[in-house]
Amino acid sequence: MKSIAFIAAAAAVATVSAQSAGADEGRLFYSSPISTTVWTAGKNETVSWTNVCKPENTGPLNIVLYRGTGGKNNTEQVIVPNLLPIGTLNCLTSKSATVFLPANLTTSDKYAIHVDTDPLQSYSAPFTINGVAPPATAPPTTSAPATSVPASSGSANPSQSSTPPTGDKSTSGAGSLKVVGSTVAVVAAAFGALLL
């Protein structure tokens, strides 16, 4: 019985190893920018990654700047309006690229970069860009009376969905973490079986 548990644990460890940051699942594993990165608007910055991408990713790929909207549990991101790609990369021949950040970017800790790699899109973790102060928001007006909307029988916010995105390409900044989290649970269960 313990030999079966040992085999299951060994298989689970092999699965975790295969899905580590060095494994090539189709998206880039960024080493910069990461969540602690702080870039400065109006300057050149470096994007770097630790793996070689799939052979389908020929030629230069655009590096696009996104900013989080705060929606969908802070994972929703949109392209920064009126901004062309900030650089290009060739993930088959290099592991870094230089990008230029326009001087008019507003300060935020919700920026991310995106590269449309094949078969999976590559989003960085949210990071900070220090730039110009965000525009001041106008205080809410009090001239219109508040109205209430009756609650529906579904969720409190119908625009939020618990259904994960479908297809090969994910727009979630944490897409890579889903598989690793599941694998860790399998490893923990396998090691628990060893103790029985």
Q: Which of 89-103, 151-165, 182-196 has the highest mean pLDDT?
A: 89-103
The pLDDT value recorded for residue 52 is: 84
Q: What percent of the chain has pLDDT over 90?
A: 42
CA 64/CA 86 separation, integer angstroms: 6
pLDDT digits (tens, 9 = 90+) for 102-138: 999 999 999 999 999 988 899 999 999 999 998 777 6
- Say if pTM beats, i.e. exceeds, 0.85: no
Distances (CA, A) of 118 to 23, 55, 56, 196: 15, 9, 6, 43
pLDDT band at residue 151, thresholds of 50, 70 and 90?
Answer: very low
- State whether residue 96 is helix, strand or coil: strand
Q: How far apart are the first and last CA of the chain?
A: 9
The pLDDT value recorded for residue 70 is: 75
- The more confidently predicted of residues 174 and 140 is 140
pLDDT at residue 157 greater than cutoff 50: no
pLDDT digits (tens, 9 = 90+) for 47-105: 999 998 888 988 899 999 999 887 777 678 899 999 999 999 999 999 999 999 999 99
What does the block give as tokens for 1?
A: 């019985």
Q: Quick count: other Cβ atoms within 10 Å of Cβ 128?
A: 17
CA 53/CA 154 separation, integer angstroms: 42
